[in-house]
A and B are shown apart, each in its own frame.
Chain A
Amino acid sequence: MHLQPRLILWVASGGVLGAAARIGVTHLSPAPAGFPLATFVVNVVGAFVLGLLLQGLSDAGPDQGRRRLARLWAGTGFCGAFTTYSSFAVDTDELLRAGQLGLALAYVAATLMLGAVATLAGVAAAGLRRRRSV
């Protein structure tokens, strides 16, 4: 699957939009008191969207056909490129290097905890939609 040129392009097209949206958020949001707010926001929002998407798709049926295409475009492509781990790691290291230990710890803890909460919220939201549609 990962070697099919059409699927690779398909993932890339979702990725272009996801990266563009992330870059857009970076422009909109400042870094108050050195806190990397933009990366924090895209990661938490993206975690929610991916939880909603993957749970919704797996509730709808097996991973094939249109469902697989939706997962690859919106999940692997868009959410994958909208969220990022490399900036999270480098920004944290730079806070540590600047002696901002408290801020670095707060950034890591907030990202990981709210990221997990957002993922769970997305999964739960997919469940609510399911119960309504029954």
Chain B
Amino acid sequence: MTELLAALAGGLGAAARFVADGAFTAFVDRRGGSVLPWATTLINVTGSFALGVVVGLVTVGGAPSAAALIVGTGFLGGYTTFSTASFETVRLARQGRWRAAGVHLAVMVSGTLLAAAAGLSLVAAV
């Protein structure tokens, strides 16, 4: 039952990513656009922070692990994505834009790692 709810939450997460991606891309385009695809980075960084908080609430705060499965594994797993991130980096590299590809990859990795650590630490500190 928990697994089923987690899968449904994953669908909700994917829908949230679709809406957030479209809204953020439209926002950037109205401001003249950008040479880098920032929407996926924003989504993955915010989702990693949120999962850090969720995992912290379970390990430190003793929150029920079923909630972590539904909100963390389900919703946030569906909201954040690796495949698009990888595709964007590879596409920049294939266009010969190696610096942009490097920046995209480095910001994605460091941003998500820092955000997840901040989420984990936040729970421990409260």
Contact = CB atoms under 8 A, between A and B. Distances in A.
B51 A23 contact: no
Given A19-B78, A84-B80, A119-B87, A89 B11 contact: no
A3 interface: yes
Main secondary structure of the interface of A (DSSP, over half): helix
Interface residues of A, number: 55
A90 B44 contact: no
Interface residues of B, number: 54
Nearest to A122: B87
Contacts of B93: 116
A19 B7 contact: yes
B86 A86 contact: no
Main secondary structure of the interface of B (DSSP, over half): helix
Interface string A76-94: 1101111111111110111
Interface of B: 3, 6-15, 17-19, 21-23, 26, 44, 47-48, 50-52, 55, 72-74, 76-87, 89-90, 93-94, 105, 108-109, 112-113, 115-117, 119-120
22 contacts: A2-B22, A8-B18, A14-B14, A15-B11, A15-B14, A18-B78, A23-B7, A77-B11, A77-B18, A81-B11, A84-B82, A85-B47, A85-B48, A85-B85, A86-B51, A86-B79, A88-B82, A89-B116, A93-B117, A115-B82, A116-B93, A119-B90
Given A43-B83, A83-B81, A86-B76, 8 more contacts: A12-B12, A18-B10, A80-B84, A84-B76, A85-B82, A86-B51, A87-B51, A87-B77
